[in-house]
């Protein structure tokens, strides 16, 4: 007699084959309820403050997740959330540290990550110039606000790039850009590695706090939905997959694939190496399914009808909102067809 484990293995194998997932879903209508229940987050309009590890905290509920690094040198933020939540973000940061805000790093130009730039940056100040402390000197435009760091193409889009994009207010613009694979800052007694990893656009950055062993990923990694792919801004599903693999290079588990390096996603709870591996595998499987369908000559509408994401939809899928499952499939299809 075949064991239940054998039957489970067959079920999962069939889900990995293009065009068969819908058959399994029909055979097991309860499948959509198999995922763990969602964790409680902050009430709408409120900001939740969570310690991560080392000198790093995260703020949840202000749009995209905000990362806070605090120490004797001051405060560094990764992203600023939406404009409407700026006052609550500043209040939350003040409960972590009363020291001045020195740096903001923008992981992309998505509105829920840079909306608070103007007001929040204006509340800070640049580290005073000290010729003997070259590692902390930055070429900022003003000393009366925090320095905003981003990849160069993020700056281009935020300034409007000669009318190609809607321009953001000048006070929100980055004043400290980089165009190399990474930018390094030594701040609060730890190395902070700002790494260019294209994903949703050609300008995504992640921020690795080396001593605290925490990575802030922006929209490269999102526990609440399929990865956003902005084709016009240079994003692609292959870029997402390549960058997730590079993220795993700096994400090290402590034991049994748990703990170790902690990961702050663009949205959702604090994660670790195992969560990134699962998300990477999901992107790779869906990429392969859609690529196979393209090779077989299937049109976009046929691919959508085949539902190549079905076995992940209960966890990441959305039928309405700013980024739906259909939008993800279409962006993946078009990026693989180029």
273 within a domain of the structure (yes/no): yes
Task: Please determine, for residue 327, whether its predicted confidence score (pLDDT) is greater than 70.
Answer: yes
- What is the predicted pLDDT for the residue at 5? 43
155 within a domain of the structure (yes/no): yes
Cβ neighbours of residue 253 under 8 Å, at least 6 residues apart?
Answer: 259, 260, 261, 272, 273, 274
CB contact burial 222-257 (16+ within 10 A = b; e otherwise): bbebbbbbbeebbbbbbbbbebbeebeeebeeeeee
Higher-pLDDT residue of 2, 233? 233
Q: Please give the average per-residue pLDDT across 252-256, as a whole number.
A: 90
Residue 270 gets the label, from left (phi > 0), alpha (psi -120 to 50) or beta, of beta
Residue 49's CATH number: 3.60.15.10
283-293: per-residue pLDDT in tens?
999 999 999 99
Q: What is the pTM of this model?
A: 0.86
16 within a domain of the structure (yes/no): no
166 within a domain of the structure (yes/no): yes
Domain count, the chain: 1
Q: Please give the average per-residue pLDDT across 12-19, as a whole number.
A: 42
195 within a domain of the structure (yes/no): yes
Containing structural domain, residue 169: 36-337
Q: At what angle do helices 237-249 and 325-337 cross, to 10 degrees?
A: 100
102-152: per-residue pLDDT in tens?
999 999 999 999 999 999 999 999 876 554 444 444 444 456 899 999 999
What is the rounded CA–CA span in Å between residue 40 and residue 274? 21
Cβ neighbours of residue 182 under 8 Å, at least 6 residues apart?
Answer: 193, 194, 195, 196
23 within a domain of the structure (yes/no): no
Please give the sequence-ordered ranges of beta strands (E in DSSP) within 101-213, or none if there are none: 101-105, 147-151, 176-178, 182-187, 190-196, 205-209
Quickly state the pLDDT bin for 162 (edges 50, 70, 90): confident
- For 258, which DSSP code? B
10 within a domain of the structure (yes/no): no
254 within a domain of the structure (yes/no): yes
Q: Please give the average per-residue pLDDT across 234-251, as a whole number.
A: 98
Helix (H/G/I), strand (E/B), else coil: 52: strand
Quickly state the pLDDT bin for 3 (edges 50, 70, 90): very low
């Amino acid at each position: 007699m075949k064991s239940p484990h054998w039957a489970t293995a067959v079920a999962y194998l069939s889900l990995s084959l293009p065009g068969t997932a819908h058959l399994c879903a029909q055979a097991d209508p309860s499948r959509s309820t198999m995922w763990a229940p969602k964790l409680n987050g902050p009430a709408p309009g409120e900001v939740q403050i969570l310690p991560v590890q080392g000198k790093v905290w995260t703020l949840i509920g202000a749009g995209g997740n905000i990362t806070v690094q605090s120490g004797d040198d001051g405060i560094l933020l990764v992203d600023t959330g939406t404009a409407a939540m700026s006052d609550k973000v500043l209040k939350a940061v003040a409960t972590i540290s009363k020291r001045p805000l020195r740096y903001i790093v923008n992981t992309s130009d998505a509105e829920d990550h840079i909306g608070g730039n103007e007001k929040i940056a204006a509340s800070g100040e640049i580290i005073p110039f000290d010729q003997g402390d070259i590692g902390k000197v930055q070429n900022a435009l003003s000393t009366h606000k925090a320095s905003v760091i981003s990849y160069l193409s993020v700056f281009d889009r935020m300034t409007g790039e000669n009318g190609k994009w809607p321009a953001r207010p000048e006070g929100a613009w980055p004043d400290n850009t980089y165009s190399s694979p990474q930018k390094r800052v030594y701040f609060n007694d730890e190395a902070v590695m700002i790494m260019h990893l294209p994903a949703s656009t050609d300008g995504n950055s992640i921020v690795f706090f080396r001593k605290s062993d925490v990575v802030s990923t922006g929209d490269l990694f999102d526990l609440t939905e399929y990865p956003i792919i902005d084709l016009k801004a240079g994003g692609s599903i292959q870029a997402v997959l390549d960058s997730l693999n590079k993220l795993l290079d700096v994400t090290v588990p402590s034991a049994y694939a748990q703990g170790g390096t902690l990961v702050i996603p663009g949205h959702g709870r604090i994660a670790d190496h195992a969560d990134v591996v699962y998300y990477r595998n999901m992107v790779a499987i869906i990429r392969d399914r859609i690529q196979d369908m393209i090779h077989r000559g299937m049109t976009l509408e046929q691919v959508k009808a085949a539902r190549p994401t079905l076995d992940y939809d209960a966890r990441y899928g959305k039928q309405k909102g700013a980024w739906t499952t259909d939008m993800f499939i279409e962006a993946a299809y078009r990026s693989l067809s180029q």
